[in-house]
Amino acid sequence: MVAPRGRRTTGRAGRRAARMKPVTEAFEAQRDRQRAIAYRVLGSHADAEDVVQEAWLRLSRQYADTIANLAGRLTTVVGRLRLDLLRVEAKRTTASCRSSW
């Protein structure tokens, strides 16, 4: 692949992209399942997609080749993120109920 000004992308970014390709493919294979898991608890497609995207961001910052069970790791991360989101929304609801009195 040729980058602007004729430079090749074999530097750090190219190596990272090559290393992340199998992880990206594995994530995409799990994406619908993870979105469904998040949606069942959250009840919102937008919130479910946000949780899955956040899980991807967290996974992409790790050395994914050290994860033995990627599907299990994603399920754990999505589960924790959706619980965090529910906690935040519960606090908002409680705060708005108190302020309306």
Which pLDDT value is given to residue 90? 83
Q: What is the mean pLDDT of the chain?
A: 81
Q: What percent of the chain has pLDDT over 90?
A: 40
Which pLDDT value is given to residue 3? 46
Q: Are 23 and 64 within 8 A, CB to CB? A: yes
Nearest-10 crossing angle of helices 70-99, 45-60: 130
What are 31-78's pLDDT values in tens digits?
Answer: 999 999 999 999 999 999 999 999 999 888 877 677 888 889 899 999
Average pLDDT of the residues in 1-14: 58
